[in-house]
Amino acid sequence: MVIRGDAYGMLLYDYHRKGRGDEIVERDDGFVLRTAGVGELFAEYRHWPGAERQAMRYVRGRVLDAGCGAGRACLHLQQKDFDVVGIDLSPLAVKVCKERGVKNCHVMDLRSLGASMGTFDTVLLLGGNVSLLATRTRASAMLRQLHRATSDRGRIIASSQDPHLTKDATHLRYHGRNLDAGQLFGHMRIRDRYRDHASPWYDFLMLSKDEMEELLDGSGWRVLRFIDEDKAAYTAVIEKVS
């Protein structure tokens, strides 16, 4: 099955069917990176990053898994009898989720989330999916949207990595140019590549803890706690402000 432009989905589909596949991420300055093993996207709960496992204690009520990928979080929470809905932009990712047993999964951009999907108590942005906030301007709009889509006890559980901790000169030059252009330090413009497939270019965001708290200021959300994975990676438990 081939869907042109869905490089990420093709990767997941091949890994699901054949147990192999390597993703390449290309940045708009020409930097190319082979990502970590795609098997992490299929991992059972016991093999998740420790910070994300700890953060699952804060999940409550009806759950939205945004950027659900291969459905690892949906499957785990289904086993715990949560009402969980997965969404992903990739049609093939959603196909993989359904074939793996995810009961409620849709092809959808988080920005398209509306009243028809109902109200959620927890929104998951795992696996670095705080990147879906994309830019400072889009993040502000999306946080307002999530505020409307969640109950009074709404939570967001989001993982990221602090881009400031890199010592790589190529990355530092790139992030420096972002600052000069008025972007957040950890903003990137990237696309996914897999075999002969390439996705459209899209915005990607990494945040330090201080930047996350600054971005949340005045949004109706605040950090309840940070759970550290290592020096750079962390998961934030974010709660709705009364």
Using one digit for the tens of pLDDT, what is the confidence trace for 65-88? 999 999 999 999 999 999 999 999
22: tokens are 């390597």
pTM, two decimals, is 0.94
Mean pLDDT score, 100-111: 95
**How many other C-beta atoms lie within 10 A of the C-beta of residue 134?**
21
pLDDT of residue 19: 85
| In the chain, % of residues over pLDDT 70 | 98
pLDDT of residue 5: 79
Count CA atoms within 13 Å of residue 193 on its CB side.
13
Mean pLDDT score, 130-141: 90
Q: How far is CA 216 from the centre of its chain?
A: 17
Using one digit for the tens of pLDDT, what is the confidence trace for 180-233? 999 999 999 999 999 888 999 999 999 999 999 999 999 999 999 999 999 899
Torsion angle of the four alpha carbons 221, 82, 76, 60, in this order, in degrees rounded to the nearest 10: 30
User: For the chain, what's the residue count?
Assistant: 242
pLDDT of residue 3: 64
pLDDT of residue 216: 96
pLDDT of residue 4: 63
pLDDT of residue 136: 87
pLDDT of residue 193: 93
- Indicate if the pLDDT at residue 134 is higher than 70: yes
pLDDT of residue 23: 82
Using one digit for the tens of pLDDT, what is the confidence trace for 6-59? 999 999 999 999 888 888 999 999 999 987 778 889 999 999 999 999 999 999
pLDDT of residue 58: 98
In degrees and rounded to multiples of 5, residue 130 shows phi and psi of -60, -20
Quote the DSSP letter at residue 111.
G
Rama region for 21: left / alpha / beta (φ>0; ψ in -120 to 50; rest): left
51: tokens are 């910070």
- Domain ranges within the chain, ordered by starting residue: 47-186+200-240
91: tokens are 């049609």
Confirm or reject CATH 3.40.50.150 for domain 47-186+200-240, answering yes or no.
yes
pLDDT of residue 114: 84
Torsion angle of the four alpha carbons 58, 126, 43, 90, in this order, in degrees rounded to the nearest 10: 140
